[in-house]
Amino acid sequence: MEALRIGIDLGGTKTEAIALDRTSGVELARRRVATERGSYDGTIRTIRDLVEGLEAQLGGRASVGIGIPGTISPATGLVKNANSTWLIGQPFDRDLQDALGRPVRLANDADCFALSEATDGAGAGAATMFGVILGTGVGGGLVVQGKLVTGPNAVAGEWGHNPLPWPADDERPGTACYCGRSGCVETFLSGPGLERDHGQGLRVPEIERLAQAGDGLAEAALERYEDRLARALAVVINILDPHVIALGGGVGNLARLYRNVPARWGRYVFSDSVVTRLLPPVHGDSSGVRGAAWLWD
């Protein structure tokens, strides 16, 4: 049995790798590089180089788990539903196995995030937890009694490709989404969606900084974002009623979300009270890389 576990989180803008001790789960090393966007072969090379680099650094061989912004179709064995569109239709797991010379396990990146936070993070001890990715894309993962729920179509938790609920007139029909539809939750609640709505060419941290400084345009964009997130999560609560919702991805770093979104979602949830807890991830916005390492028991 390998002495190490390596987890890879393949994101739209960055690819992160972590090495854990197999027995204790202690983090031994971590690396982060830019994702080679648009290049399938480049993506495989990046992952191969990260794994080989960590193994050389630590002097051991590792099992490898990978979180991807999509999933492997049970029907075809090929990647589907990936906002990193160069992966779609590819036998990614098989090509990675060939490149690394060993079996690999793949799962949706939001599923990996949810598994990590449900195990010993924000959702530890909760009977049900919904893990959310608010990053380059928008994803979700559901953990019930400590077990990841994937479903027969491998799409459990894909709330980002439902329409934004209760849209205002100026929210219809919405921005075109890579999935072929318009007005998806992802087009509003991803980091690029927030930046596009603000309309000044700024990144999310700068929008937050301006709002804190009293800039009205930035504050209005964040308030719109919070109401949209409250609506979208209200639908999740109405269907799943999770005990905990944890937010990952870069936008999940906005501390104000954890105050303002629960203050808004009560008007949309079909209940006289809402006790669902909205929490930041214990292991940070890249918690999913730990969940990827744990795809091997």
Q: Which domains does the chain have, with CATH numbers?
A: 4-111+286-293 (3.30.420.40), 125-279 (3.30.420.40)
What mean pLDDT do residues 212-241 have?
98
- Whole-number pLDDT of residue 23: 85
pLDDT in tens, 149-173: 999 999 999 999 999 999 999 999 9
| Contacts for 191 with CB less than 8 Å, ≥ 6 apart | 134, 135, 136, 203, 204, 249, 250, 251
If pLDDT is split at 50, 70 and 90, which confidence band does 216 have?
A: very high
pLDDT in tens, 42-74: 999 999 999 999 999 999 999 999 999 899 999
Distance CA 293, CA 17 (A): 9
- Whole-number pLDDT of residue 286: 67
Residue 11: pLDDT over 90? no
pLDDT in tens, 84-126: 999 999 999 999 999 999 999 999 999 999 999 998 899 999 9
- Whole-number pLDDT of residue 241: 98
Residue 2: pLDDT over 80? no
Q: Range with the lowest mean pLDDT among 40-44, 135-139, 235-239?
A: 135-139
Which pTM does this prediction carry? 0.90
Residue 1: pLDDT over 70? no
